[in-house]
Amino acid sequence: MKIKCCDSSLDENKAKDLLSNSGLNRTKMKVTILLELSSAKTPLSVADIYQELGDESCDKSTVFRTINQFKEKGLVREINLGEDFNRYEIINPDHEHSHHHHHVRCRECGDIKLIEKCDLSPFEKMISKLGYKKMEHYLEFTGICSKCA
């Protein structure tokens, strides 16, 4: 099992705590997936996750089910970067992926970078005036990166 715990702010114990606090069982599989998401430099697809596990692989249905649980419990957020599958990234107060942000994806090489800043409050204020509540927004960028230009 290859889990890169380099600069990750999540270790096995913290992962287990997160699971317990979310009412999920602290199984080996759930911990593994959570750590993999935590140490990833970019949002991962479900295929990324179960291919990464290699020998100790688990079934893709398990990954899908686990990810959906994480999503329901607010441990991960789902994003779509214009590919034909979704990606997931961890939400953890101690983690750099946790705060609200967006992404740029290179349409050539597929490389994904984080965009830290986001102020769409003027938009949301105006939409609120139309009677909408509980606004959420979804914003992603694509472009051609400097390597591919």
- Residue 114, exposed/middle/buried by CB under 10 A (0-12, 13-18, 19+)? middle
Residue 55 vs 134, nearer CB to its own copies: 134
Residue 28 vs 125, nearer CB to its own copies: 125
Q: Is the dihedral of CA 9, 14, 15, 20 positive or negative?
A: negative
Residue 24 vs 63, nearer CB to its own copies: 63
Binding of its own copies by 135 (CB under 8 A): yes
- Residue 84, exposed/middle/buried by CB under 10 A (0-12, 13-18, 19+)? exposed
DSSP 2: -
CA distance 146 to 68: 35
Binding of its own copies by 7 (CB under 8 A): no
Considering only the stretches 3-11, 52-60, 98-106, 117-125, report the one whose residues sit in contact with DNA under the rule CB under 7 A: 52-60
Binding mask 68-107 for DNA (x = CB under 7 A): xx--------------xxx---------------------
Residue 27 vs 121, nearer CB to DNA: 27
Phi-psi region of 86 (alpha: psi -120 to 50; beta: other; left: phi over 0): beta
Query: What residue 20 binds from DNA, its own copies, none (CB within 5 to 8 A, per partner kind)?
Result: DNA
